[in-house]
Amino acid sequence: MENTRRHFLLASAAATQTWAGANDRVRLAIIGVGSRGTAHIKEILPGPNVEIAALVEVDGARAEAASQLVFQRTGKRPLIHSDMRRVFDDKSIDAVTIATTNHWHALSAIWAMQAGKDVYVEKPVSHNVFEATQLVAAARKYKRIAAGGTQRRWYGRFRKAIELVHGGLIGDIYQGNFFFPGNRDSIGFKPVKEPPSNLNWDLWVGPAQMQPYHENLVHYNWHWFWDFGNGELGNNGIHLIDVLRWGMKQTLPVSVRSTGGRFGYKDQGETPNTQNLTWTFADGSSMVGQLRGLYTPEPMSWDFFGSKGHMHIMADGKFQVTLGRNKKPEPEVTDIPPNLDHFAGFAEGVRTRNQKLVHSEIEQTAISTQLCHLGNISHRLGRELRFDPATMWFQGDREANEMLTRRYRAPYTVPDQV
């Protein structure tokens, strides 16, 4: 009954809240202050009229380090919480940025939006397909400014490249390819042991089923365990998927096929270190991706193939266009727009209530996230899957449909009705 009452009060507050920031200042809480959360702090603090008022972290040692960083840059110490729900109860907090483990992303954001907070969510914005759908539904229901962490939509070179693709420079796009080199070593095997005293293990596990602690979970290698992460496809592949999908103006596919495995070593990790994927869309066009976790000198890249030519985009965003039967690329494009500041854009969106200032709007990042999940389901089942974007179900495949969501551990449950 108390949980129901609290949800009603939060939902009512969210429905009526309008911008009321003192002196136009946006008061932020950073949820999760590991490497990405620390990067958030460093990128946010140079911004005008933005205050990091609170930090949320289940590891006390990391919380103290992040608090010290904020103090060094501002002369003020933020509040520290181990439980994010304390931040959601704080009406003085306008917005949150979320840089937790993947399996906390969607629930953190949904709870925040139900409490009237705007959200910036690191990629992938969910742990499974269902969560991404609920995340977007919450943003729309509570009319929140919501952004995802696929930052290349803010980079000038990528914006220019996609502008040219959309302008028809290389014709109708029939295929997009990406390559990502991970170059990762074995994580070995870590024994089960008691969690360290500075870590709230119950909160860290959160929506997943409770399980023993070992050091390959905290703090980075959780990426390679299905209960908490989404492998390299969800970790870095989403950035590459998002650029291709952006350029191709595609949403969800009608089929997906993934092959690969964890090659080169035996360790505790569960996700593939090598993955080859094909997503096919209703119009017959396709996206083809390759993630290689073992060693290669080949750099990260994207390729668009069109009826009039080809565009190759390099890791730094520089691109080359080759038209028709020409063997030499066209002259380099020089009118490149400047990079945009994604956190400044988010803060300005919070102030003005203008979602258009957020270039990585949550729905777009959610769709790119869902492509990752569909690819991983195909990999785990070892077969090509047919998907219906209209119903958000696999066709005639109960086993695959069960993997669109997960079994949650109360009270850390993504609701069926947001």
- The predicted-structure confidence for 210-228, as pLDDT tens digits, reads as follows 999 999 999 999 999 999 9
Note the pLDDT of residue 14.
Answer: 41
pLDDT tens digits for range 286-322: 999 999 999 999 999 999 999 999 999 999 999 999 9
Instruction: Provide the token pair at 133.
Output: 């759908």
On the question of pLDDT at 7 being above 60, the answer is no
Q: Give the model confidence (pLDDT) of 130-181 as tens digits.
A: 999 999 999 999 999 999 999 899 999 999 999 999 999 999 999 999 999 9
Mean pLDDT over each residue of the chain, to the nearest integer: 94
Check whether the bond before 411 is cis (ω within 30° of 0).
Answer: yes
Query: Per-residue pLDDT for 11 more than 70?
Result: no
Q: How many C-beta atoms lie closer than 10 Å to residue 250's C-beta? A: 20
Residue 130 neighbours by CB under 8 Å, 6+ apart = 404, 405, 406, 414
| Whether the Cβ atoms of residue 405 and residue 129 lie closer than 8 Å to each other | yes
pLDDT band at 394 (very low <50, low <70, confident <90, very high): very high
State residue 8's pLDDT score.
34
Q: Which two tokens stand for residue 312?
A: 């190759």
> Cα(27)–Cα(44) distance, rounded to whole angstroms?
11
**pTM of the entire predicted model:** 0.94
* Res 6 pLDDT > 60: no
What pLDDT is recorded for position 334? 94
Query: What is the pLDDT confidence band of residue 24, given thresholds at 50, 70 and 90?
Result: confident
What is the pLDDT, as a whole number, of residue 55?
A: 98
Q: Examine the pLDDT at 351 and tell me if it is beyond 80.
A: yes
Q: What percent of the chain has pLDDT over 70?
A: 94
Determine the longest span between alpha carbons in the chain, in angstroms: 70
pLDDT of residue 92: 97
- Helix residue ranges, H only, 216-275: 231-232, 238-248
Helical axes 35-44 vs 60-74, angle rounded to 10°: 10
The pLDDT assigned to 359 comes to 85
Element (H, E) at 66: helix 60-74
Separation CA 377–CA 272 (nearest Å): 12
CA–CA gap between residue 275 and residue 226 (Å, rounded): 15
User: For residues 191 and 214, is the Cβ–Cβ distance under 8 A?
Assistant: yes
Residue 77 CA to residue 94 CA, distance in Å, equals 18
- Environment class of 296 (CB within 10 Å of its CB; exposed 0-12, middle 13-18, buried 19+): exposed
Domains along the chain with CATH numbers: 2-152 (3.40.50.720), 154-188+211-338+362-402 (3.30.360.10)
Whether pLDDT at 328 is above 70 = yes
- Amino acid identity for residue 399 in this structure: E
pLDDT at 13: 40
Residue 15 has pLDDT above 80, yes or no: no
List Cα–Cα distances, 232 to 33, 59, 180, 236, in angstroms. 21, 24, 9, 6
Of 134, 173, 132, 174, nearest to 150 by C-alpha is 132
pLDDT tier for residue 23 given thresholds of 50, 70 and 90: low
Least confident of 12-16, 74-78, 245-249: 12-16
pLDDT at 46: 87
pLDDT greater than 80 at residue 72:
yes
**CB neighbour list of residue 42: distance below 8 Å, 6 or more residues apart:** 69
User: Looking at the chain, how many residues does it have?
Assistant: 418
Which whole number is the average pLDDT over 245-263? 98
Q: Is the pLDDT of residue 20 over 80?
A: no
